[in-house]
Amino acid sequence: MPEGKSQVGTASAPGQAAPAETPLRLAVTGMHCAACVRRVERLLTRVDGVRDVTVNLALEQADLTVRMPVRDRLPALLDALQAGGYQGEVLTESHPQRTSPAIGRDGIALVACALLTLPLLLPMALRPLGVPWMPSPGWQLALAVPVQFGFGARFYRGAWRDLRSGSAGMDVLVVIGTSAAFLLSMVNLWLAGPADATPDLYFESSATVITLVLLGKWLEGHARRSTGAAIAALQALRPQRAHRVVGMQEEDCAIDQLLPGDLVRVRAGEQVPADGAVLAGESSLDVSLLTGESQPVSCGPGSRLLAGSLNGDGVLLVNTLAVGSATRLAQIIRLVEGAQAAKPRVQQQVDQVTAWFVPAVLVLSLLTGLGWWLWLGAATPAVLRAVAVLVIACPCALGLATPTALLVGTGMAARRGILLRDADVLEQALQIDTVAFDKTGTLTAGRPAITQMLPSPGLTRENLLRKAAALQQGSPHPLAQAVVQQAALAGQLPPVADGAHTLPGIGVQGTVDGDVLCLGSARLCQGIAIPADLQAAAGQAAQDGASVAWLVMPAQQSPGRPGRVLGLFCFADPVRPEAAATVQGLQQLGLHVMMLTGDGAGAAGKVARETGIQDVQSGLLPDEKLSIIRGRQTAGHRVAMVGDGINDAPALVQADLGIAMGGGSDIATHAAGITLLRPDLRLVAEALPLAQRLRRRIRLNLAGAFCYNLVGIPLAAAGVLSPDLAGLAMALSSVTVMSSALLLR
Q: Which of 171, 424, 438, 680 is catalytic?
A: 438
Give how far Cα 234 sits from Cα of 56, 97, 410, Å: 20, 11, 13
Of the candidates 671, 630, 627, the one whose C-alpha atom is nearest the C-alpha of residue 648 is 671
Question: Is there a contact between 409 and 542 (Cβ–Cβ < 8 Å)?
Answer: no
d(CA 641, CA 689): 15
Residue 438 a catalytic site member: yes
Element (H, E) at 93: none
- Which residues of 281-414 form beta strands (DSSP E)? 283-286, 297-299, 304-305, 310-311, 316-322
CA angle 93, 94, 100 (to 5 degrees): 90
Sheet strands side by side (includes 241-246): 249-254, 241-246, 263-266, 316-322, 275-280, 304-305
Which residues lie across from 553 on neighbouring strands? 564
Output the DSSP codes for 281-301: --EEEE-HHHH---S-EEE-T
Q: Sort strands 61-67 and 21-29 into parallel, antiparallel or unpaired.
A: antiparallel
123 preceded by cis ω (within 30°)?
no
d(CA 81, CA 347): 23
Burial of residue 193 (number of CB atoms within 10 Å: 0-12, 13-18, 19+): exposed
Element (H, E) at 56: strand 50-56
For the CA atoms of 453, 458, 464, 466, what is the dihedral angle to 10 degrees? Answer: 150
**Sign of CA pseudo-dihedral 615, 620, 626, 631:** negative
Amino acid at 534: L
Residues 6+ apart with CB under 8 A from 260: 320, 321, 322, 323
d(CA 733, CA 698): 14
Where does residue 324 fall: left (phi above 0), alpha (psi -120 to 50 degrees), or beta otherwise? left
Residues marked active site are found at 438
